[in-house]
Amino acid sequence: MTTIYGPVPSRRLGLSLGIDPIPLKTCNWNCVYCQLGRSTPLVNERREWIPTAAIMAELAAVLANAPPDSIDWITFVGSGEPTLHSGLGEMMRQVKQMTALPVGLITNGALFYRPEVRRDVLAADAIMPTLSAGSAELHHLLHRHHPDVSFACHVAGLIALRREFTGQLWLELMLIAGMNDTVAALTDIARIVAQIKPDEIHITLPTRPPAETWVAPPEEEALMQATAILGEVARVVHPLVGTFQLAVNGDLCAAIADLVQRHPLSEAQVDALLAAHSAESLAVVKQRCLDSGRIRCIERFRITFWIAAAAHYPNTLHSERTRPVTLEMQGGA
């Protein structure tokens, strides 16, 4: 399995080459909306999950063979939480020595209350931590976090990071219908945002396959309400439809499996990739990939997605309990 993937098209980052230093699904949150499924079990141990030297060697080889202007950003974004890798700071510093490309970090931000984690990420050009709740109750319902990473620690860590980090700080707010799209919930979030003072707030929507079947994007009115409450720094970031790039070294199905482990694909996206890389019948090559044991399909929003076979999702509405009741809990907590 490779640790470098893409470049992946991104509306914020252009063509982003991903560095994934974490095995699926190593995370201290278990978000209801996560496109990589459930975190089972929750993990909050920082260690060298994948050897730092191996990751850097793979990156150096990819960069050496990359066509000019084919990469806009290099982004640390894991099959879980990348700050759980104890070598993250060393990897960032090595990337800055390898290339002049800007370096990004997509993270839940749960560990930024720890000074050593903040020091590790200071070399980044942009950090994109999550802030999708303005109260401890809603934070727990959305993220189902490890007990050692509380909402209070999360907020304190983001405030401390803003004081120390001189690059761009872009908060990510995943907006979920009926959860955090109410006036009360958004007002609570705005109160926390005012303490953090980010450069931007990126409002994102659950358009990729969420872990829980009941998760849905908000209505357009809720999006307008969110931008009005959060102010001028907030904008809605819709997913960019673009061409994915595969590093195929003889095994097309393995390359597809490596990609969907980090970035689930709709069946239409899979069809386009396979057609571009194989002259075989589409049905034949798709069946071979599914028979590999590394990929399976799941349905969300009436769309079939290809995901990692090892990912944990409920398959049907009948396998998941009803969504949590949250509206009574969202105001002023």
How many domains are there within the chain?
Answer: 1
Cα angle: 114, vertex 117, 120; to 5 degrees: 155
Checking if the pLDDT of 316 tops 50, the result is no
* 166 located within any domain: yes
DSSP per-residue letters across 245-258: ----SS-HHHHHHH
Task: Give the mean pLDDT of 101-124.
Answer: 98
The three-state secondary structure class of 257 is: helix
Cα–Cα distances (Å) from 261 to 22, 136, 168, 171, 320, in that order, read: 11, 30, 28, 24, 22
* 201 located within any domain: yes
Cα separation, 86 vs 149, in Å, equals 17
Least Cα distance to 127 among 88, 165, 89, 71 occurs for 165
Cα angle: 202, vertex 111, 32; to 5 degrees: 55
Tell me what pLDDT residue 249 has: 65
Tell me what pLDDT residue 329 has: 38
178 touches 326 (CB < 8 A): yes
Quote the pTM value: 0.89
- Give residue for tokens 């002023």: 332
Task: Label residue 107 by pLDDT band (50, 70, 90).
Answer: very high
- Give residue for tokens 């894991």: 78
- Domain region containing 86: 4-243+312-329
* 293 located within any domain: no
CATH number for the domain spanning 20: value is 3.20.20.70
Tell me what pLDDT residue 277 has: 82
Q: What's the DSSP call for residue 145?
A: -
Cα separation, 72 vs 75, in Å, equals 10
* 22 located within any domain: yes
Q: Which helix (H) or strand (E) holds 271?
A: helix 267-277
* 38 located within any domain: yes
* 286 located within any domain: no
